[in-house]
Chains A and B, each alone.
Chain A
Amino acid sequence: MVRVELPFHLQQLAHVGREITVHVDGAATPASVIDAIEQQFPMLQGTIRDYATGRRRPFLRFFACEEDVSFAPFDAPLPEAVASGSEPFMIVGALAGG
């Protein structure tokens, strides 16, 4: 199981708390974790990555083990600590706006 921390508005949308756990098929990568999130919480489809391009939404960042993994390939393995569930995969909204 992979632990995922969601930003406030996605928590509201999915009716969950700050942290969720998802079952990931195969290696834990940004793509497989988001696949698992979208499967378990269909209301989050399209909110983390754009439907048309498949890319991360530009005002979101991904963090793992205190590293910014936003620009890593979507199929790059996440750290073992994330894959094993000891550290969360963090989806963070940009601190901007009015």
Chain B
Amino acid sequence: MSEVRVLVGTRKGAFILTSDGKRQQWKVSQPMFGGWQIYHLKASPVDPNRIYASQSSDWFGQTLPRSDDGGQTWTTVGNKFLYDGIPGTHQWYDGTPHPWEFKRVWHLEPSLTDPDTVYAGVEDAALFKSADGGQNWTELSGLRGHSTGSQWAPGAGGLCLHTILIDPANHDRIYTAISSAGAFRTDDGGGTWKPITKGLYSKYLPDPTATVGHCVHRIAMHPSKPDTLFMQKHWDVMRTDDAGESWQKISGNLPTDFGFAIDVHAHEPETVFVVPIKSDSEHYPLEGRLRVFRSRSGGHEWEPMTKGLPQQDCYVNVLREAMAVDRLDKCGVYFGTTGGQVYASADGGDSWNAIARDLPPVVSVEVQTV
């Protein structure tokens, strides 16, 4: 029977939760990298025992551990993230030019075919690539060097590149999302990039339909339909069916369309999950009720999933990296909260259980079926 591994990054370390394919009994590992912020852990799809982790600290900067045995042991690999050439400036909160300064890795995306190749999305927003298992990193500077780069400005969480999606049908096509610059696509493996923001509307911008400046929180893709993407924006849930050339709003009957996390069912490419958050000023669920909303129609029509989730006095947040799905026959859905809970559904969202209750604030959740 398959084993499920849930890789959890928190503000104070990483944890691995394991279960068999029934997903009823869970074992929580000891803390790894205790005291460090673990923004993300992700395993190679072609070598599930190879896991990359982003380990950072306000004191000691960024380090990058790698495991080759499924998280049993870790080796520190390369952490030299230097921008290509003279970095120049982006826009600061007050509109003045501000030098690009590397702060941390937000997201690690291993290649779909080579366990030694991995991409890193960093703050201040840039995309790096390693072809030697994370030892050495090179910036794919065509992204930050886009003609709009000097106009990019940080959101409240920083100027972070948090989403990297590789098209499984065409590995030269990669999508990235940046708060708060927007979304970008390359069709040549990262050499050149174009903003893909047509159809996005952000009322807080001087020009709500501007090419850049949209605070995209997360983008999700189903591997069988790589031209269809689902986006949770600062406000608005959106979809595209033409690889980002145009976006349509699919918030429909959601009680609020602010939120961070979004993901797609493993076997139903039109089934989408979001966790609505009250507002951009109040980062917790409406009415103290933690509800996952599921659409089985690719958006517009959403149903609340509440069974097993707290329905009173719940004021946690679910961050952008903190939701994932497994690939078992009955799709498992997982998300973590800033209150330290990790919730799991073994039935596609119908019912939920807390598989860990008292972890540090959860930043990221990834799932492996091994």
Contact = CB atoms under 8 A, between A and B. Distances in A.
Interface of A: 7-10, 12-13, 42-43, 45-48, 50-52, 57, 59-60, 93-94, 97
A54 B358 CA distance: 39
B59 interface: yes
Given A46-B80, A52-B101, A52-B102, A9 B59 contact: yes
Interface in B1-56: 34-36
Contacts of A45: 79-80
Contacts of B58: 59, 97
B76 A94 contact: no
Contacts of A7: 59
Contact of A51 (B35, B36, B59, B82): B82
B59 A59 contact: yes
Nearest to B83: A52
Residue from B34, B35, B58 whose CB has the most chain A CB atoms within 10 Å = B58
B60 interface: yes
B148 interface: no
Contacts of B101: 52
B111 interface: no
Residue from B59, B61, B79 whose CB has the most chain A CB atoms within 10 Å = B59
Nearest to A47: B60
Contacts of B79: 45-46, 51
Contacts of B83: 52
B179 interface: no
B62 interface: yes
B59 A43 contact: no
Interface in B75-113: 76, 79-83, 101-102
A62 B102 CA distance: 23
